Structure 1
């Protein structure tokens, strides 16, 4: 099996697994404690969460707080729903559904256009009553890196808050300016079931889950195992960022040569090189995937798999329905080898040729 679907999820780092086991078992089976309990075992579990909080914050801007959540979708909803009411919410046309659909549900959404390269430039105006702007750092379908620094400046000029969906960027691309940043552990070799929202100091959010408010603006007992795993994965990402980036770049160069006859969707240069969205006009993607069962890749976002709908992201950059439906997404990262890329390309190209393409 060759795994090339890193945008959907990443393999759990061994270091993260080891960190989790301490709080699943622990010395003499004591790792099960509730981190919000005042006794010794609870304080020990809480200390592990605070260590993880510091590790996660190390890759985020200074002057803010980290709120642990169940996932990035929850973090995004807390940011968008909890930061106020009234006014317009401006989002890029290629945002993840967690942002795009939430903006629509809030009402009065304003959609920012993107170029055929997949970038959302700041030449377009914001409505006068915009209260929140959301532009993702790295797109999950086409890998385009957005000019978030420019959008942060634009939002401030319009007295609006600025939210970044950094799910695909955290640990890979530096993030320096925002009011709120959402991340998910399983996208950087941590466990599923835990995410976080970074909130700049001075911003207050209305809780969206009522209860004990264990995280201040977020209720619910935290899992020391999941949070510790996220912290270990964040620490590793921090230490290996340059090494991982170089490795991903080498894999990209190899893949571009092996898929030279395919058309790239999105920017060639303004992108995270662990994401390659390519197409062959006329390709039957369902047949291709059936004939390449040993290669794990995607026809689009995992969140939209099985919907049968044409990719909103690919249509936003100007592709027709037919072109969008003849596209595939390949993703790789830390644990992918050159040999993996070569084997995947061999299988995919052979299956495409069998369709006469």
Structure 2
């Protein structure tokens, strides 16, 4: 990850004998702007939606409305994600350069390739769905070719890339020297993945409820799955806070604490859980889905911004470096 330009990562800390070096942070804070946490959010929604619909299909749930919604939601997210990444990089050719060589030890290289492959497969799958829905016309060659695409096989092939894209934000953050992220390296990826499942499920549920599509059994199954995903996300988040310990300090103070505890934990997890555990109704389900989606965005924002503040804390960096050493 480049240190010049907008895509700088926290560099390795220098070794100083004291607790600080004139209170100057020994690592550079990431220079990411809003595009990055929105990119993590949008990509996670698409990855979660694809994973849910693929698993549902494998388990024998054949609701065409669920499958259709999942494929179009995934396509939309995979169109937006590279645009957000390119906007952050500043020039389109930088994204192309990231694809020139696959580096298996580089999270950014793996993430770029996973995004490219998952996006390409999602495009083919959505094209097949569009042909099936009659959106490409009748007997023209393009429609016939699209209908011949083996969408189910491609969906299964795309699954590993979807799971990586869903967890990628956490994996990328954990690979830096930023204390708050590095301290929680093992749980960052799984926590982001759990959030991707919860937001993907909520996007599917919201689409079906707003369009009044889907079978009754599908809505009930999504409701159960949403509850499970939120419980898993809450558990991983609690474990992450425990693992971060004092290095999670940016999340406990202003300006991030109200958004993290109010927007993510309370508004994005606990409130939707209460809504989904009570009497089932369309308005309650819509509200729960919207809250989960907004909570997922808030989670990614506070994780990125909290890491920036952690990088600015020389005491945290030296303390973490000594423990790691």
TM-score, length-normalised on structure 1? 0.24
Give the helix-richer structure, 1 or 2: 2
TM-score, length-normalised on structure 2? 0.25
Give the strand-richer structure, 1 or 2: 1
